[in-house]
Amino acid sequence: MDGEPLQQMLDSGAIIHIWSVTPKSCLTPMGQSGLYCAVHKTAKTDSTKAFLKALYEHALAPALPENAMRNLQWPAASGRTCLLSVGKAATQMASAILDRLSANAEGLVVTRRGYVQPGFAPDNMQIVEASHPVPDFAGAQAAESALAMADGLGENDLLLVLMSGGASALLPAPADGITLIEKQAVTRALLHSGAPIAEMNIVRKHLSAIKGGRLAARAWPAATHMIAISDIPGDDIAMIGSGPSVADSSTCADTLAIAEKYAIALPPAIRAGLQGGALETPKSDDPKMQRATAEICARPGDMCAAAADAAKARGYDIIMLGDALEGDALELGLDHARQALALKAEGRKVALISGGEATVMVHNRDGRGGRCTAYLLACALALNGEPDIFGLAADSDGIDGSEDNAGAFLWPGILDAMGGPENARGLLDSDNSYLAFEKADGLLMTGPSGTNVNDLRILLIG
């Protein structure tokens, strides 16, 4: 069977199933997703999970560096070009432009452990794997190397900075008078507080010697240009990776207010530096920020739009709830379940799609789960087995929180597969949403995706 008839069968609603043991030569790729599908008689749950995974992969395509950076240009330098690529997509971003860098280019690439793109090992790049989400000594050493590289640049040189999600934790450089241990303690407290990413990054900027524009200030009089994949709701470029080469508009006073809001204990040296203004960041009128430019190459909106296009092609009406949703993951799951039930009552065939980054207030520090599984489990409990509603919630980087899954699937019988609603509720209340979906064989496992544009949530109704 050639590709066109198979695609027509898929588009007409034929059941699909992933065959991990079937040679690719026997199958046909579904659209641009790269997911190979074959016609196979199986339960509707399996076919819908396969379709949802295909939507996820199709949605990620425009945010992959090889696609998002294909036509990018950056300022030319008559002197040297130094590259600093940091984040969960650091090696993929560097790889996407490596053949377009000047012959004398050299650089530093810092990514999360296990996230190095297979086969990426250029002779002119140092590659460092560091800890995320809590910074470690390897990341701190990499940050010192990045600052030393910036210090060595002159007026005719360019520092080309590539930023992707996770960069804030991967490149820790404590400001003068602050220890790495103190930064780690504050980071842990922020991660468990339920604070949104923008507030977390305001704190990170003011405790750092490299974030909040300080890297560009160190590189001056060299030019600095940042290319970023946005993992920030609202796409504030100064917040991506905590903006190491972008002027900062937040203040020490903002940082103190955030610490008070979430009852985060600040070590004496940090509190004194904030109160006295010693930890203030460079602002837009700082002379050393005048040669710093920045642009975004991929956004959460790109991912959501691609998911919408793919679902619409399969006959779903699209309701886009937004690409920058924040707030409590459990409340978000409950709200989306209510909307899904209302739409089903109207007899509509609809895909509810949203992006953004919800938060989870962690009560059990030994629990296992991320914001996507927490959202989806709250949603499943509210739906209570309602027929004909399926869903997916997944982090675009391939890892939900600190676990090994990208996210999870939802289907009408999932609570029974978790051991019943009471058991599922207990797992959610103990911050063990991962274990609930693991028991139901409902986890989405992909490994690192090579990009990071926040979370994708899809509910299919009808």
pLDDT at 1 (0 to 100):
34
Q: What percent of the chain has pLDDT over 90?
A: 87
- If we measure between CA atoms, which residue out of 384, 353, 352, 360 comes closest to residue 434? 360
What is the tens place of the pLDDT at every residue in 451-460? 999 999 999 9
What is the tens place of the pLDDT at every residue in 331-365? 999 999 999 999 999 999 999 999 999 999 999 98
pLDDT at 382 (0 to 100):
98
Q: Is the pLDDT reported for residue 113 higher than 90?
A: yes
pLDDT at 402 (0 to 100):
81
pLDDT at 178 (0 to 100):
95
What is the tens place of the pLDDT at every residue in 374-423? 999 999 999 999 999 999 999 999 999 889 999 999 999 999 999 999 99
For the chain, the average pLDDT equals 90
Q: Is the pLDDT reported for residue 75 higher than 60?
A: yes
How many CB atoms are closer than 10 A to CB 122? 17
pLDDT at 339 (0 to 100):
98
Q: Is the pLDDT reported for residue 12 higher than 60?
A: no
Q: pLDDT-based confidence at 291, cuts 50/70/90? A: very high
Cα(345)–Cα(347) distance, integer angstroms: 5
- Give the lowest-confidence range in 6-20, 292-306, 377-391: 6-20
- If we measure between CA atoms, which residue out of 413, 395, 398 comes closest to residue 445? 398
Q: Are 183 and 131 in contact (CB under 8 A)?
A: no
- Give the lowest-confidence range in 84-93, 397-406, 429-438: 397-406
Q: What's CA 316's distance to the chain center, in Å?
A: 26
Report, as an integer, the average pLDDT of 54-71.
97
pLDDT at 86 (0 to 100):
98
Q: pLDDT-based confidence at 102, cuts 50/70/90? A: confident
Report, as an integer, the average pLDDT of 1-14.
35
Q: Is the pLDDT reported for residue 130 higher than 90?
A: yes
Q: pLDDT-based confidence at 303, cuts 50/70/90? A: very high
Report, as an integer, the average pLDDT of 44-66.
95
The pTM (predicted TM-score) of the whole model is 0.86
pLDDT at 45 (0 to 100):
84
Sheet holding 389-395, edge to edge: 317-325, 350-356, 455-461, 389-395, 407-410, 443-444
Q: Is the pLDDT reported for residue 36 higher than 80?
A: no
Which tokens hold the place of 145?
A: 């190397």
Q: Is the pLDDT reported for residue 18 higher than 50?
A: no
Which tokens hold the place of 128?
A: 């460092």
Q: Is the pLDDT reported for residue 6 higher than 60?
A: no
Q: pLDDT-based confidence at 265, cuts 50/70/90? A: very high
What is the tens place of the pLDDT at every residue in 132-153? 999 999 999 999 999 999 999 9
Q: Is the pLDDT reported for residue 39 higher than 60?
A: no
Q: Is the dihedral of CA 15, 20, 25, 26 positive or negative?
A: negative
What is the set of domains in the chain, with CATH numbers?
73-298 (3.40.50.10180), 301-461 (3.40.1480.10)
Q: Are 451 and 65 in contact (CB under 8 A)?
A: yes
pLDDT at 22 (0 to 100):
26
pLDDT at 17 (0 to 100):
29
